[in-house]
Structure 1
Amino acid sequence: MEGNGDQTMLKPSVILTGTAKEGSSGPPIGLVDIGVSEGAYLFRVALPGVRKDRSKVKFEIKSDGKVQIEGVMSGPGFLKESSAMYQMKVQQLCPPGPFTVSFKLPGPVDPRLSSPSFRPDGILEVVVMKSRAQPTVADSQPPLGV
């Protein structure tokens, strides 16, 4: 295990677009943590307010380690919970609309060998194996719906 100097190298440059960029209050979309093991990377992306069943979240991993996550935040409008209907008067989460989160992992990966999980707490968690061969331009994982 090496010292803390390696942590600065692992801090991803994250690019936000759409409503993820505009959201200024509430928990931010797009916070990224990256873990490294000998053979794989684990990344976790915060997507608070994004619901797996309604947001059509999908992501793509390229062999060079570039990750792009896309989705749509639902509008505040009306919310139906059990038998009650609520009209939202306060909007603290990211505003409604499409968003993207892009970042790059510390090294090349094999996009075919990934294990995604969209947790109930709004965290997208993915383990992807490191690449054993040099990546080619054609190597990329087709977009996955989560």
Structure 2
Amino acid sequence: MGVQDYAESKLKPSVDLTGSANECSNGPSIGVIDIGVSQSAFLFRVALPGIRSDQSKLKCEIQRDGKVLIQGIVTQGSEVLQGLSSVCQMTVEKLCSPGPFTISFNLPGPVDPRLISPKFRPDGILEVVVMRYRRPSDPVDAWAPPS
């Protein structure tokens, strides 16, 4: 496996989904992930459609080894929706069912979990920048995957 193949395989993380995120099969998926890499940081975006930051108790933990754990609660998805002047019984449900969920995956390398910049965008995307961990002996201008 070449350096480029290794780097690409590390950017396609194995993602573990539990709870409502795992049960969502028809509609927009919770837990679709994009990862970006720079010399000094990792950026990841996680799709959380139907999640409201003010009601979901969203929590994102990042460990030094690059393991990311996202937890929350899907609060929408009830079978009866109340509109402006009527009540509708849902016959087709494509959003995730209400309940707790977890998403976990690994970033391509170690990070400094104290140096993160999370942002929950209005379009349902959790976007986080986390600084890479560097030992004093690490070169600043190059990144190579571990051998």
TM, length-normalised to structure 1: 0.81
Where do 5+ consecutive residues of structure 2 fail to align?
Answer: 137-147
Mark the CA change 1:41 to 1:86 in structure 2 (over 3 Å): closer, same or farther: farther
Query: 2-side partners of 1:133 and 1:105: how far apart?
Result: 17
**Could you tell me whether the CA contact under 8 Å between 1:36 and 1:42 is conserved in 2?**
yes
Where do 5+ consecutive residues of structure 1 fail to align?
Answer: 135-146
Q: Please state whether the residue corresponding to 2:55 is helix, strand or coil.
A: helix
Query: 1-side partners of 2:17 and 2:52: how far apart?
Result: 18
TM, length-normalised to structure 2: 0.81
RMSD: 2.1
**Could you tell me whether the CA contact under 8 Å between 2:13 and 2:107 is conserved in 1?**
yes
Q: Deviations over 1:58-104 (max 9, x none)?
A: 110000000000000014235567x5565451321111100000000
Residue of structure 1 in register with 2:15 after alignment: 14
Mark the CA change 1:79 to 1:7 in structure 2 (over 3 Å): closer, same or farther: same
1:23 aligns with 2:24: yes
Query: 1-side partners of 2:107 and 2:87: how far apart?
Result: 41
Query: 2-side partners of 1:107 and 1:55: how far apart?
Result: 29
Residue of structure 1 in register with 2:107 after alignment: 105
| 1:32 counterpart letter in structure 2 | I
Q: Could you tell me which of 82, 93, 96 is aligned with 1:94?
A: 96
Mark the CA change 1:113 to 1:95 in structure 2 (over 3 Å): closer, same or farther: same
**Could you tell me whether the CA contact under 8 Å between 2:50 and 2:76 is conserved in 1?**
no
**Could you tell me whether the CA contact under 8 Å between 2:71 and 2:100 is conserved in 1?**
yes
| 1:39 counterpart letter in structure 2 | S
